[in-house]
Amino acid sequence: QWGRVRARLQAEVGEVEYRTWLKQVALAGVDGDEVTLVLPTRFLRDWVKKEYGELVASLWQAENPAIRSVDIRSQPGRGTAPNLAEPVPVEAAPAAVAPVVPRADVAAPLDQRFTFDTFVVGKPNEFAYACARRVAESPATAGFNPLFLYGGVGLGKTHLMHAIAWELSTQHKGGGQVSVAYMSAEKFMYRFINALRSQSTLEFKNELRGVDVLMIDDLQFLIGKDNTQEEFFHTFNALVDAGKQIVVSADKSPSDLSGLDDRLRTRLGCGMVADLHATTFELRISILETKAERAGVDVPGKVLEFLARKITSNVRELEGALNRLVAHANLFNRQITLEAAHEVLHDVLKAHDRKVSIQEIQKKVADHYNIRIAEMSSARRARNIARPRQVAMYLAKQLTSKSLPDIGRHFGDRDHTTVMHAVSRVTELIGQDAAFGEDVELLRRMLEN
Interface with Mg ion by CB under 5 A: which residues? 157-158
Is 154 annotated in a binding site? The answer is: yes
Which residue, 61 or 390, is less far from ligand ADP as judged by CB? 61
Closest distance between Mg ion and the C-beta of residue 118, in Å?
15
Closest distance between ligand ADP and the C-beta of residue 356, in Å?
22
> What single string gives the DSSP state of each residue in 398-410?
HHS---HHHHHHH
Which residue, 13 or 307, is less far from Mg ion as judged by CB? 13
Is 158 annotated in a binding site? The answer is: yes
Residue whose C-beta lies closest to ligand ADP: 156
Q: 316 is in the binding site of which of Mg ion, ligand ADP, none (Cβ under 5 to 8 A by kind)?
A: ligand ADP
- Bridge partners of 67, per DSSP, are none
Q: How far apart are CA 389 and CA 205, in angstroms?
A: 61
Q: Using CB atoms within 10 A of its CB, is residue 337 exposed (0-12), middle (13-18) or buried (19+)? A: middle
Closest distance between Mg ion and the C-beta of residue 217, in Å?
6
Q: How far apart are CA 45 and CA 77, in angstroms?
A: 14
Q: By three-state DSSP, how is residue 248 classified?
A: strand
Which residue, 30 or 121, is less far from ligand ADP as judged by CB? 121
Contact 60, 24 (CB under 8 A): no
Applying CB under 6 A, the residues found at the interface with ligand ADP are: 114, 118-120, 125, 151, 153-159, 287, 315-316, 319
Closest distance between Mg ion and the C-beta of residue 12, in Å?
8
Closest distance between Mg ion and the C-beta of residue 287, in Å?
16
Q: 185 is in the binding site of which of ligand ADP, Mg ion, none (Cβ under 5 to 8 A by kind)?
A: none
Closest distance between ligand ADP and the C-beta of residue 317, in Å?
9
Q: How far apart are CA 175 and CA 178, in angstroms?
A: 9
Edge-to-edge strand ranges of the sheet holding 245-250: 180-184, 213-217, 245-250, 147-151, 272-276
Is 173 annotated in a binding site? The answer is: no
Which residue, 248 or 299, is less far from Mg ion as judged by CB? 248
Is 225 annotated in a binding site? The answer is: no
Q: How far apart are CA 169 and CA 179, in angstroms?
A: 7
Which residue, 110 or 345, is less far from ligand ADP as judged by CB? 110
Which residue, 126 or 347, is less far from ligand ADP as judged by CB? 126
b/e string for 106-119 if b means 16 or more Cβ within 10 A?
bbbbbbeebbbeeb
Q: How far apart are CA 106 and CA 204, in angstroms?
A: 8
Residue whose C-beta lies closest to Mg ion: 158
Q: Which amino acid is at 235?
A: T
Contact 228, 260 (CB under 8 A): no
Q: 135 is in the binding site of which of ligand ADP, Mg ion, none (Cβ under 5 to 8 A by kind)?
A: none
Contact 352, 310 (CB under 8 A): yes
Which residues line the annotated binding site for ATP? Answer: 154, 156-158
Bind-site residues: 154, 156-158
